[in-house]
Structure 1
């Protein structure tokens, strides 16, 4: 007996909701029960890729000329969506979600009638989530007024290919239930419409805007330059991309993510009144004058700030960060930095991903703090790398990721041979090394590993490597071979450096599923032309 099909329809709908959209749709071919279940399923998610591919679309723009020139894949999509919506409407069934993605291949003006009809039906049967992505370069679809009459809407996402005209200024909006509003690449007839549109979502908790556009006085599409958000007392999360000037007055805002349109031009970002802010992510910003003062004021104006992430930022040479509340700090591609001083007794996670290697100091730190450092390095800069690692307290350095630049024989070796190690270096949980050395230079390999293992003792070390298996074989033999490499930094009369006592506990790799593989078996099946990852777990 098919006991699953005999289950109540609510349970069958729950099963469909847990499947990917395409797989859920295929269940309609199983039986009449499943077909009826699918057609009464309150979620309608349609992606153009389910009905046609780029090869199915007529060349050029011929499919814009009319129905006789329209390709069958689009007709099938239109027929499917219309039938699904009409069946729900005629049976008095609700619609929880309606998601439509037409891709870049379809001119939305070709299906204007159907889009208007679908939005009207969805609004009438109480759609709660409406997501429209037309993403077309051929034309724009004027958002139907009925879209703002759906009192049931809790989430509204509008993507590219959609235009919002001036008639929305005069029409009564009924978006009083919308909690999530997302606008991506939408074209507005005027800047005023944007704030008017947003202000009619008084319960909005999440707002996202990504590179939206307006008409200028020449009726050309230009990027939105400024945005003023005020009166949204429920607003908790804001993500704004591609706007040069932003003013936010939302005292209950918790999360803010911002990136300007022009990365190299001055920007304005005012969120001083957002005193409840807990998370701040800033991307692609030009240098702020007196960045030290900016950081000091940031934490004094926002006393609850727990997470700060700065991405692609031109810093001053030194920054001082002091906060009793800060728990997560992430600096990525921040140029010019030479010194970072952190006084954050409750900091739990610090991540630094930059080409520059500043001296990082912790005035006060939590016993639970974990530090992750990601950087580029070549032999000439190994000294500064080692100094940076040794400066970080041993108990908090959790992982180190290095990209080893190709170094040619004779370049930078003199400084490496000066290294003397008198004690075991700081222990870290994981060392990840991405490298592409010349497979013929074992002279390079020996100095590379000697320096790395003299700078830090990793519990695990991973190599991401695209140069065959020569280096991996060298590393294995260096630690496990009967005659290990002479240490380049010790005289022949001295005892071996500590790292000669390292043992390999087990090995894993990206192209074999075994947790503890045989090394020679791995070499035998090593892919010739792909980048692979091999991990060694070590112990003293």
Structure 2
């Protein structure tokens, strides 16, 4: 029965397996599965703790893809390590380079050792890369040249979680990929002022902060349709400024302090706002009238202290 499955479905099954261990065993099922395993465009590897870290197996597979020029569409690498010396950064760079050479479109990297210097400038020269999802690495020792801007137009999604980068590097990175549609940034601790401007095609932005060192977040994006923001209730409140986002359709705010004036500004400014979700926000809003919004269809309020809305039906 397994032989009658189409190749694309077999490739999808292989994606949910550990490619160098579980997925490798499937090649013994039949010639169909053997061929699918040898040419699978989706690769996912995990490097574990300690000495048994699968470097040899992974390197052998990646060499085969390089030598035979087998296309790679999606590449995911998860690295777990207790100690710096247990990682071979040169090998990791090599595998990522092979994925880029073979036309990877989606690159997902989870590094549980923050010291890994991700070669981000190499990724931004790719003509095929459409999604870059990175968790846990260091960008601070790298520089982005403005000459690379013309080479980054393929990227549509950029997600950064627990990545070491500062305000200047973030601005340089965004300038290198002006056509991104989806941007996610989560708990990048060196940032102090997050500013998003001049993103010509941006549709969705998600920002999450769990430290109180952020001073301001400014969004200026006329094409923005979906914005999610998770702040930090500890320490001083910072400035959240959303301007020139006239096409905003959904807004989710959580873990932050808001004022009646701020919320009234949101309701009155975004004339196409259809969904407003407030989760664990606090503020002195004893009675707030939301009847000024004609487009609002969904209103969600959960775990919010000191907020009581007044609904008026006309």
**TM-score bin (small chain):** 0.7 to 0.9
The answer to whether the Cα contact below 8 Å between 2:232 and 2:256 also exists between their aligned partners in 1 is no
CA-to-aligned-CA distance 1:396-420 (integer Å, 9 cap, x gap): xxxxxxxxxxxxxxxxxxxxxxxxx
CA-to-aligned-CA distance 1:469-517 (integer Å, 9 cap, x gap): xxxxxxxxxxxxxxxxxxxxxxxxxxxxxxxxxxxxxxxxxxxxxxxxx
Q: Does residue 228 of structure 1 match 2:195? A: yes
Higher relative contact order (CA 8 A, sep 6+): 2
- Per mean C-alpha deviation after superposition, the further-off stretch among 142-151 and 302-311 is 142-151
Distance 1:172 1:334, change over 3 A: same
Q: How much does 1:296 deviate? A: 2.7
Equivalent position to 2:220, from 246, 249, 269: 249
1:81 aligns with: 58
| TM-score when normalising by structure 2 | 0.87
The answer to whether the Cα contact below 8 Å between 1:284 and 1:311 also exists between their aligned partners in 2 is yes
Write the mapping of 1:27-426 to structure 2, written as runs, cut at 5 A: 27-48=26-47, 52=48, 57=50, 71=51, 73-74=52-53, 76=54, 78-105=55-82, 107=84, 110-136=87-113, 139-143=115-119, 145-169=121-145, 172-173=148-149, 174-188=151-165, 190-213=166-189, 223-242=190-209, 243-261=214-232, 263-288=234-259, 291=260, 293-316=261-284, 317-322=286-291, 323-337=293-307, 339-343=308-312, 363=313
Counterpart Cα distance in 2 of 1:47 and 1:116: 15
2:3 aligns with: 5
Q: How much does 1:125 deviate? A: 0.9
Equivalent position to 1:21, from 17, 22, 27: 17
Secondary structure in structure 1 of the residue aligned to 2:93: helix
Larger Rg: 1
Secondary structure in structure 1 of the residue aligned to 2:237: coil
The answer to whether the Cα contact below 8 Å between 1:207 and 1:238 also exists between their aligned partners in 2 is yes
Secondary structure in structure 1 of the residue aligned to 2:62: helix
Distance 1:264 1:334, change over 3 A: farther
Cα RMSD over matched residues? 2.4
CA-to-aligned-CA distance 1:136-172 (integer Å, 9 cap, x gap): 25x3334264222211100001110333434224662
Q: In structure 2, list runs of 5 or more residues that go unmatched.
A: none
Write the mapping of 1:492-507 to structure 2, written as runs, cut at 5 A: none
Q: How much does 1:226 deviate? A: 0.7
CA-to-aligned-CA distance 1:346-403 (integer Å, 9 cap, x gap): xxxxxxxxxxxxxxxxx35xxxxxxxxxxxxxxxxxxxxxxxxxxxxxxxxxxxxxxx
CA-to-aligned-CA distance 1:316-358 (integer Å, 9 cap, x gap): 2222212211111111111123x42123xxxxxxxxxxxxxxx
Counterpart Cα distance in 1 of 2:61 and 2:8: 15
The answer to whether the Cα contact below 8 Å between 1:307 and 1:329 also exists between their aligned partners in 2 is yes
Q: How much does 1:191 deviate? A: 2.2
The answer to whether the Cα contact below 8 Å between 2:119 and 2:142 also exists between their aligned partners in 1 is no
CA-to-aligned-CA distance 1:87-124 (integer Å, 9 cap, x gap): 22222221101101113546387211101111211111
Q: In structure 1, list runs of 5 or more residues that go unmatched.
A: 58-70, 214-222, 344-362, 365-540
The answer to whether the Cα contact below 8 Å between 1:185 and 1:211 also exists between their aligned partners in 2 is yes
Distance 1:33 1:164, change over 3 A: farther
Secondary structure in structure 2 of the residue aligned to 1:176: coil
CA-to-aligned-CA distance 1:186-209 (integer Å, 9 cap, x gap): 112x42121111121122000000
Distance 1:250 1:144, change over 3 A: closer
The answer to whether the Cα contact below 8 Å between 1:85 and 1:121 also exists between their aligned partners in 2 is yes
Runs of 4+ that moved beyond 3 A:
4-7, 22-26, 104-109, 261-264
